[in-house]
């Protein structure tokens, strides 16, 4: 297909519970690669998220509203099935450490087996965000630690409403 007619749709899936600056770094870099980036919140009944899916989607929409090629959506079931429904050919995943790579490689190979026409693209976490995870942010916050600079201000405000520090 000629370059001028190509329309690359990528999906950046995750739980985003809560959204961090590491996620936003990947989104910012992803919008430069894809013509359309769908940030997709996983609906997982087996986990007990701090924020419901609708609120996580609202936080993402608020933080990415300045991008013209980002769409916020949610999905359950197989990611490759969602990608097919959305005509996406790329799955964007972030890698912070070797341990992330091992897990992500397994997922990428399974997704390739299920949908050979959908590629997984790994992006290394930005150095400033390589230690940040949603789980760690929640733990630090619960223990009364400072999370400014790790999450957007709106997310921090929602955390304060949901989880008073030290709770």
- Rounded to an integer, what distance in angstroms lies between the CA atom of residue 3 and that of residue 28? 22
Which residues share a beta bridge with 151?
A: 148
**Tokens representing residue 53 in the block:** 């899916």
- Sheet containing 70-75, strands listed edge to edge, beginning at the edge strand earlier in sequence: 70-75, 36-42, 9-14, 90-95, 119-124
What's 125's DSSP letter?
P
Which tens digit of pLDDT belongs to each residue from 119-166?
Answer: 999 999 989 999 999 999 999 999 999 999 999 999 999 999 988 655
What integer pLDDT is reported at residue 166 of this predicted model?
A: 55
Asked if 47 and 6 touch (Cβ cutoff 8 Å), the reply is no
- pTM score, whole prediction: 0.92
What integer pLDDT is reported at residue 4 of this predicted model?
A: 62
**Tokens representing residue 122 in the block:** 């790994």
Q: Which CATH class is domain 3-131?
A: alpha beta
Examine the pLDDT at 40 and tell me if it is beyond 80.
yes
Structure confidence at residue 167 as a pLDDT band (50, 70, 90): low
Which tens digit of pLDDT belongs to each residue from 42-76?
Answer: 998 787 899 999 999 999 999 999 999 999 999 99
Asked if 40 and 74 touch (Cβ cutoff 8 Å), the reply is yes
Category of 42 on φ-ψ map: left (φ > 0), alpha (ψ -120 to 50) or beta = beta
Domain range list for the chain: 3-131
Structure confidence at residue 3 as a pLDDT band (50, 70, 90): low
- Rounded to an integer, what distance in angstroms lies between the CA atom of residue 163 and that of residue 147? 13
Catalytic sites, residue numbers: 23, 47, 96, 134
Examine the pLDDT at 2 and tell me if it is beyond 80.
no
> Helix or strand or coil: residue 2?
coil
């Amino acid at each position: 297909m000629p370059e001028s007619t190509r329309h690359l749709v990528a999906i950046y899936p995750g739980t985003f519970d809560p959204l961090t600056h590491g996620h936003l770094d990947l989104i910012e870099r992803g919008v430069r690669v894809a013509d359309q980036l769908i940030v997709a919140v996983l609906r997982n009944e087996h986990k007990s998220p701090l924020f419901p899916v609708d609120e996580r989607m609202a936080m993402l929409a608020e933080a990415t509203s300045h991008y013209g090629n980002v769409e916020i959506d949610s999905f359950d079931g197989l990611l490759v099935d969602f990608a097919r429904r959305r005509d996406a050919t790329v799955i964007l995943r972030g890698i912070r450490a070797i341990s992330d790579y091992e897990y992500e490689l397994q997922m990428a190979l399974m997704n390739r087996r299920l949908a050979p026409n959908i590629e997984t693209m790994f992006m290394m976490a930005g150095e400033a965000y390589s230690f940040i995870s949603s789980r760690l942010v929640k733990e630090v916050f619960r223990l009364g630690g400072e999370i400014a600079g790790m999450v957007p201000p709106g997310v921090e405000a929602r955390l304060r409403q949901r989880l008073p520090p030290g709770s």
